[in-house]
Amino acid sequence: MDAIAAFAKDQLRLLTFRRLSDGARRHFQVYLTLSLAITVLAGVGRYWDKPDAQWWQYLGLGSFAYVFALAAIVWTVVKPLRPERWTYAAVLLFITMTSAPGFIYAIPVERCMSVQNARSVNYAFLAFVAAWRVALFAVFLLRFAKLPPFVAATALLASLCSVAVPIAYFGFAYLVTQGMAGAVGEDVRLAEIIVTASLVLLALAPFVAAAYVVMIIRRRRSARAS
Is 97's pLDDT higher than 90?
yes
**Cα–Cα distance for residue pair 118/143, rounded to 1 Å:** 37
**Cα–Cα distance for residue pair 130/60, rounded to 1 Å:** 19
- 34-83 tens-digit pLDDT: 999 999 999 888 777 677 777 777 788 888 999 999 999 999 999 999 99
**Cα–Cα distance for residue pair 50/108, rounded to 1 Å:** 10
Is 184's pLDDT higher than 60?
no
Average pLDDT, the chain: 85
**Cα–Cα distance for residue pair 88/181, rounded to 1 Å:** 27
Structural domain of residue 42, as residue ranges? 2-225
pLDDT at 188: 47
pLDDT at 194: 64
Nearest partner of 137 among 203, 91, 103, 192, judged by Cα: 91
pLDDT at 193: 62
**Number of domains into which the chain is organized:** 1
Is 149's pLDDT higher than 90?
yes
- Spell out the residues 6+ positions from residue 148 whose beta carbon is closer than 8 angstroms to its own: none
The H or E element that residue 189 is part of is: helix 188-225
**Cα–Cα distance for residue pair 59/41, rounded to 1 Å:** 8
**Cα–Cα distance for residue pair 130/98, rounded to 1 Å:** 10
With cut-offs at 50, 70 and 90, classify the pLDDT of residue 179: low
pLDDT at 2: 87
**Cα–Cα distance for residue pair 40/82, rounded to 1 Å:** 31
Is 106's pLDDT higher than 60?
yes
> Which of 38-47, 107-116, 142-151, 178-187 has the weakest average pLDDT?
178-187
**Cα–Cα distance for residue pair 131/45, rounded to 1 Å:** 20
Contact predicate 134/160, CB 8 Å: yes
pLDDT at 154: 96
Is 219's pLDDT higher than 50?
yes
Over residues 177-181, mean pLDDT:
58
Is 146's pLDDT higher than 60?
yes
Is 134's pLDDT higher than 50?
yes
Exposure b/e, 172-189, CB count within 10 A at least 16 = b = ebbeebbbbbbbbeebee
Over residues 15-41, mean pLDDT:
95
pLDDT at 169: 62
**Cα–Cα distance for residue pair 159/211, rounded to 1 Å:** 13
> Which of 2-6, 85-89, 173-177 has the weakest average pLDDT?
173-177
